[in-house]
């Protein structure tokens, strides 16, 4: 990705802090919603099958929105674009708590997913700019802040559930706080537009063949992440008979394990390289997923989710960094990878629910075992084409 290298100084450090906070805000929205999925399901009166259908809708919204994000990143300054989209994403958190029927829930989750996808592409594009300025791997740390935000959101869900607080008020209070934070820190982001020599991408573009293999590695990791975030609480509550607070805490443990691994991920990548880092990740994630599938004690299953989180933690940051280094339009490349990877993550909960409807949640998570194993085996596609880490 061709950008002007910035000497690490106050401006670049401020941009790194601002970008980290934006990632945390985005993660907090996701974690907040994930922790209250059982409440949403009960509110609209649906079981695993209906919930699975509803959770397909964010994926549909993201897949419809992401192909246009490359054009947005080309036409608008990234700082302004992120400011608008992250506020829209925080506001979208209130939507899933409003419907009282499954069809209305599906409609609102399409909008929810669309804003998630657009904001995600914009902030990752800015993260690549900051990483290029530093001249070393810092992408994993940004995603660590996303996981930390997810942890904060899920912990808030635990306390809200214990207090008997309804999701509408819980989501509204969370949205208000996140909007204030996002607007305040957005002034520290870098003003950035693509190189003027780059041709304007089409208004709607699909991923290129060059992006596809990188996106497929991201697909495996994000599918496992999306399934775990939205179904781990249901898994522990319904299959193991654990209380709602324990189920919500499972999301928190999964998120904190991902956060810790991502904060150490840049150190690991600089020493092992992206290929070996993803191979090791594949082994850890596969073991964790197998524990979830085979174990019955709740504590062991929760530990399996934690190990799964550690295993997939650094893969998504490496996927975006690899896309940013590809030749061509950076916004289009990042949008292409995001469309494949995050689209799958948003679809994953619905697919897991569909499989659970015809069989069981245990069988659903066997799919995760296979995907994270493939993720590790395909690590070679992330080999840098030039020395950048």
d(CA 127, CA 142): 7
SS3 of residue 42 by DSSP: helix
Query: Which of 61-75, 89-103, 375-389 holds the top average pLDDT?
Result: 89-103
Confidence of residue 201 (pLDDT cuts 50, 70, 90): low
In the predicted model, what is the mean pLDDT of residues 362-378?
91
Confidence of residue 74 (pLDDT cuts 50, 70, 90): low
DSSP for 333-362 reads: HHHHHHHHHHHHHHHHHHHHHHHHHHS-HH
Tens of pLDDT, residues 108-131: 999 998 998 889 888 988 888 888
In the predicted model, what is the mean pLDDT of residues 324-353?
72
Residue 358 burial (10 A CB sphere; 0-12, 13-18, 19+): exposed
Please give the pLDDT value at position 213.
87
d(CA 248, CA 161): 8
Confidence of residue 3 (pLDDT cuts 50, 70, 90): very low
Please give the pLDDT value at position 179.
96
CA-only gyration radius of the chain, Å:
19
Average pLDDT, the chain: 83
**Which of 52-56, 107-111, 209-213, 324-328 bottoms out in mean pLDDT, i.e. has the lowest?**
324-328
| Domain ranges within the chain, ordered by starting residue | 10-193+206-382
- 272: number of Cβ within 10 Å: 15
The full length of the chain comes to 389
Tell the residue number behind the tokens 């450090």, with chain if given: 13
DSSP for 221-257 reads: HHHHHHHHHHHHHHIIIIIT---HHHHHHHHHHHHHH
**Which of 49-58, 322-331, 349-358, 363-372 bottoms out in mean pLDDT, i.e. has the lowest?**
322-331
Bigger pLDDT: 380 or 68? 380
Give 10-193+206-382's CATH code, choosing from 1.20.1250.20, 1.10.10.10, 3.40.50.300, 3.90.1720.10.
Answer: 1.20.1250.20
Please give the pLDDT value at position 316.
87
Please give the pLDDT value at position 307.
94
* Contact in structure between 263 and 339 (CB atoms under 8 Å): no
Residue 38 structure tokens: 């059982």
Tell me: pLDDT of 273 over 50: yes
Tell me: pLDDT of 76 over 90: no
d(CA 323, CA 219): 14
Tell me: pLDDT of 197 over 80: no
pTM of the model: 0.78
Q: Return the percentage of the chain with pLDDT > 90, whole number.
A: 30
Please give the pLDDT value at position 163.
86
Q: Return the percentage of the chain with pLDDT > 70, whole number.
A: 88
Tell me: pLDDT of 344 over 80: no
Please give the pLDDT value at position 89.
93
Tell me: pLDDT of 387 over 60: no
Tell me: pLDDT of 389 over 70: no
């Amino acid at each position: 990705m061709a950008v002007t290298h910035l000497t690490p100084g106050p401006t670049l450090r401020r941009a790194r802090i601002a970008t980290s906070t934006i990632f945390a805000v985005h993660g907090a929205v996701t974690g907040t919603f994930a922790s209250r999925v059982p409440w949403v399901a009960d509110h609209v009166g649906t079981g695993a099958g209906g919930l699975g259908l509803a959770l397909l809708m964010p994926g549909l919204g993201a897949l419809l929105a992401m192909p246009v994000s490359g054009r947005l990143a080309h036409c608008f300054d990234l700082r302004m674009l992120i400011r608008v989209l992250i506020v829209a994403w925080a506001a979208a958190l209130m939507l899933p708590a409003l419907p009282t029927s499954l069809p209305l829930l599906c409609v609102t989750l399409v909008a929810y997913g669309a804003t998630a996808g657009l904001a995600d592409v914009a902030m990752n594009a800015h993260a690549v700019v900051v990483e290029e300025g530093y001249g070393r791997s810092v992408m994993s740390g940004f995603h660590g802040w996303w996981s930390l935000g997810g942890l904060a959101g899920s912990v808030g869900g635990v306390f809200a559930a214990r207090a008997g607080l309804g999701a509408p008020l819980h989501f509204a209070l969370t949205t208000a706080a996140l909007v204030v934070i996002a607007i305040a820190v957005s002034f520290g982001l870098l003003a950035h537009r693509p190189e003027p020599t780059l041709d304007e991408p089409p208004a709607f573009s699909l991923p290129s063949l060059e992006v596809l293999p990188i996106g497929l590695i991201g697909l495996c990791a994000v599918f496992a992440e999306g399934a775990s975030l939205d179904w781990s609480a249901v898994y522990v509550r319904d299959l193991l008979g654990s209380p709602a607070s324990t189920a919500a805490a499972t999301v928190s443990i999964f998120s904190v394990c991902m956060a810790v691994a991502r904060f150490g991920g840049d150190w690991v990548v600089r020493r092992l390289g992206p290929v070996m880092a993803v191979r090791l990740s594949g082994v850890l994630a596969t073991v964790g997923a197998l524990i979830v599938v085979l174990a019955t004690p709740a504590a062991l299953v929760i530990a399996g989710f934690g190990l799964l989180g550690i295993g997939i933690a650094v893969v998504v940051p490496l996927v975006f960094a690899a896309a940013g280094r590809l030749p061509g339009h950076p916004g289009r490349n990042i949008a292409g990878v995001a469309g494949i990877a995050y689209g799958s993550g948003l679809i994953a909960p619905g697919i897991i629910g569909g499989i659970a409807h015809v069989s069981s949640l245990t069988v659903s998570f066997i799919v995760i075992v296979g995907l994270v194993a493939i993720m590790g085996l395909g690590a070679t596609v992330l080999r840098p084409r030039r020395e950048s880490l």
